[in-house]
Amino acid sequence: MAAMHSQFADDFSGKTMISVRDLRVRYGEREILHGVNFEVKHGETMVIMGGSGSGKSTLLRALVGLEKPSAGEIWLKGKDIATISQEELDDIRKQIGMSFQGGALFGSMSVRDNVALPLREHTELEESTIEIMIRLKLQHVGLTGYEEYMPSQLSGGMKKRAAVARALAMDPEILFFDEPSAGLDPIIAAGIDTLILDLKRAFRMTVIVVTHELASAFLIADRMILIDKGNIVATGTKEEMKANQHPRVRQFLDRVPEPEVAQELDYLQMLTEDVRVS
Amino acid sequence: MEIAYEIGASVTGGLAYVGSLASLGTQAAYFTFVAPFRGKPLRWQRAVSQAMDVGVRALPILSLISFFVGLILALQGAYELRKLGALNLIAQGVAITITRELGPLITAIVVIGRSGSAFAAELGTMRVTEEIDALETMAINPIRFLVTPKFLAMIVMLPCLTIWADFMGIFGGSVFGVSQADFTWASYFQATTDALLMRDIVTGLIKSIMFGITITAVGCHEGLSTGGGAEEVGRSVTRAVVISLFLVIVVDLVFTTLFFYTG
């Protein structure tokens, strides 16, 4: 274990920001992720794709420490977050930002207070400095002038932008996005994609995006992972993914629906998977 | 055999539940008394605004209910006492029953309906909208940030509300005493103060603090353990109210027994 620790610690002094080793996550009896392995380099945008129920959101939650793995390792900035203490995990969390699917802005606080919250909680900065930082972050996401708005007064796209501003508050090295374009119209969704690209260019951040929107994925990704039923079925660059002939990759990228099931019994069998229906 | 298994499972489940409430209470106590000395300040402003919600805004309804209960108590007491020609004992009966039992209990019931349910709904909604996850990923402990101000507000406000409910209950009794039982306002007040011992009021207040801890722990626990979806929030609120009512009665029984045997 000690040897392994030093090996990864060395890796992180170089380019690897995230390294996931044989990650398994289970909810009760049900295993959601069955041994996932991948690495993300510094400054890279990794898109995790997969259908509904594939385990991609669980993977993202595990990466930020919201789900405890049942086995395996998640190395973030040289530390295995599955085994470290709460204090160490909190130290790492101060260096990451997460944008949730619905924004997860605090409904009882204005946009200003939402963005200021991590700064007020974790820094000793003067309120005047915090004010300047809030303005800067809102400027980055195109929400200048919306400081006093309450989250309920914002549109879906604006909520996501405000959530990104809050995620940027502590100048994180890694940004995580859960379904950034879900529930948005194509124009607003494209705006969020552009925002992610701009942030990456401007701040050289490592970005992890979970999505099932193909257009968005192929626009922003440096590398991609396709996850299916808790396993990674393909990893690679955009071109490698397009050329990949794995049937599940082809089905996902070519948007082929699951085959029609003619017989009632076959349909039940498909739903219950392993369990024999007779 | 199956019945024994079911009983065992229920007892274990109940104990685990009480254990998780105790754990929540302990963490809130840590963030109130220890963490501020380790650079994690209390959210005083939030605690004060919670105290306004829990306490000040509950005054009108609590005043009415405790006034009526005091009046009802006097009426019911008089029904028996007048047969014995002992209507002059009304003041004593109302004062002791209200301060030792009904004042704290009525306050707790009103607060469960107003605030215990609101805590569960607020935290449950925050769980569903991933706001609690967002706090965690920002390295902000949700118990310090959300639960501790609620505990503080409840522990301070429940005894205050209870004193007010005691006062209004006794006032309710006095209305009957003065109008129907030959008391004057002064003599009713005198009879009440003569009957009451400091011990009666203090035991009521100790109970009210325990009720406050119970209501907050249940409301917050149910809110934080809400599953996905709006329907689950409703279920959490219902559970918070029902479990709080039950546990408040249990705590009441335990403390009343304790006070009974310790004289």
Write the single-letter amino acid at B125. Answer: T
The closest of A108, A105, A103 to A184, measured between CA atoms, is A103
Alpha helices (H) along B98-197: 103-111, 117-128, 131-137, 142, 148-180, 185-195
Q: Does B18 touch chain A (CB under 8 A)?
A: no
Number of other CB atoms surrounding residue A17 within 10 Å: 23
- If interface means Cβ-Cβ distance under 8 Å, which residues of chain A face chain B? 61, 64-66, 89-91, 93-94, 96, 98, 100-102, 104-107, 117-118, 121-122, 176
The highest-confidence range among A204-213, B119-128, B227-236, by mean pLDDT, is B119-128
ipTM for the predicted complex comes to: 0.85
> One digit per residue, pLDDT tens: chain A, 278 residues?
444 444 444 444 447 899 999 999 998 889 999 999 999 999 899 999 988 888 898 999 999 999 999 999 999 988 999 899 999 999 999 999 999 998 999 999 999 999 999 999 999 899 999 999 999 999 988 899 999 999 999 998 899 999 999 999 999 999 999 999 888 888 888 888 998 998 888 888 999 999 988 889 999 999 999 999 899 999 999 999 888 888 888 888 888 887 766 567 776 666 665 555 54
Is A94's CB within 8 Å of B140's CB?
no
Selecting from B125, B134, B139 the residue whose C-beta is nearest the C-beta of A100 gives: B134
Is A104's CB within 8 Å of B133's CB?
yes
Which two structure tokens, joined as six digits, stand for A122? Answer: 């974790």
Task: Report pLDDT for A270.
Answer: 63
Could you tell me how far CA B182 lies from the centroid of its own chain?
35
For residue A122, the chain B residues in CB contact (below 8 A) are 139
- Contact A20/A72 with Cβ under 8 angstroms? yes
Q: Which residue does chain A place closest to B46, by CA atoms?
A: A108
Torsion of CA B25, B31, B33, B37, to 10 degrees: 160
Instruction: Calculate how close chain A gets to B227, using CA atoms only, in Å.
Output: 13
Average pLDDT over residues B62-85: 94
Say which residue the tokens 């917050």 belong to.
Answer: B220
Instruction: Calculate how close chain A gets to B228, using CA atoms only, in Å.
Output: 14
Average pLDDT over residues B199-218: 94
Is B140's CB within 8 Å of A65's CB?
no
What is the per-residue DSSP string for A125-173?
--HHHHHHHHHHHHHHTT-TT-TT--GGGS-HHHHHHHHHHHHHTT--S
Is A106's CB within 8 Å of B131's CB?
yes
- Contact A156/A180 with Cβ under 8 angstroms? no
Selecting from B126, B129, B137 the residue whose C-beta is nearest the C-beta of A93 gives: B137
User: Choosing among B44, B137, B224, which should be mutated to test the A contact, i.e. which has the most A CBs within 10 A?
Assistant: B137
3-state percent helix, strand, coil for chain A, nearest multiple of 5:
40, 25, 35
Number of other CB atoms surrounding residue B248 within 10 Å: 24
The highest-confidence range among A4-13, A219-228, B62-71, B75-84, by mean pLDDT, is B62-71
User: Choosing among A91, A96, A98, which should be mutated to test the B contact, i.e. which has the most B CBs within 10 A?
Assistant: A98
CA distances from A58 to A25, A63, A231, B138 (A): 8, 9, 12, 18
pLDDT higher than threshold 50 for residue B78? yes
- Sign of the Cα torsion B217, B219, B220, B222 reads positive
The closest of A19, A14, A27 to A82, measured between CA atoms, is A19
Q: Which residue does chain B place closest to A124, by CA atoms?
A: B39
Q: Which residue does chain B place closest to A117, by CA atoms?
A: B138
Selecting from A66, A96, A118 the residue whose C-beta is nearest the C-beta of B133 gives: A66
Task: Report pLDDT for A58.
Answer: 92
The closest of B83, B111, B76 to B245, measured between CA atoms, is B111
Give chain A's end-to-end CA distance (angstroms, integer). 48
Using DSSP, state whether A79 is helix, strand or coil: strand
Q: Which helix (H) or strand (E) holds B248?
A: helix B230-261
Buried b vs exposed e over A39-63: b needs ≥16 C-beta within 10 Å?
bbebebbbbbbbbeebbbbbbbbbb
User: Choosing among A61, A66, A119, which should be mutated to test the B contact, i.e. which has the most B CBs within 10 A?
Assistant: A66
What is the per-residue DSSP string for B213-247?
HHHHHHHHHHHHT--SSHHHHHHHHHHHHHHHHHH
Judged by average pLDDT, the poorest of B34-38, B222-226, B242-246 is B34-38
Instruction: Tell me the pLDDT band of B234, cut-offs 50, 70 and 90.
Output: very high
- Contact B167/B189 with Cβ under 8 angstroms? no
Q: Which helix (H) or strand (E) holds A216?
A: helix A214-220
What are the backbone dihedrals phi and psi of residue B203, each rounded to the nearest 5 degrees, phi first?
Answer: -60, -40
The closest of B171, B184, B197, B165 to B88, measured between CA atoms, is B184
Residues sharing a CB contact under 8 Å with residue A147, sequence separation 6 or more, in sequence order: A110, A111, A112, A134, A135, A138
Using DSSP, state whether B207 is helix, strand or coil: helix
Overall pTM surpassing 0.80 (yes/no): yes
Is A104's CB within 8 Å of B136's CB?
no
Task: Report pLDDT for A202.
Answer: 86
Mean pLDDT of chain B: 93
Instruction: Calculate how close chain A gets to B115, using CA atoms only, in Å.
Output: 17
Q: Which residue does chain A place closest to B133, by CA atoms?
A: A66
Instruction: Tell me the pLDDT band of B241, cut-offs 50, 70 and 90.
Output: very high
The closest of A208, A158, A245 to A47, measured between CA atoms, is A208
Instruction: Calculate how close chain B gets to A125, using CA atoms only, in Å.
Output: 15
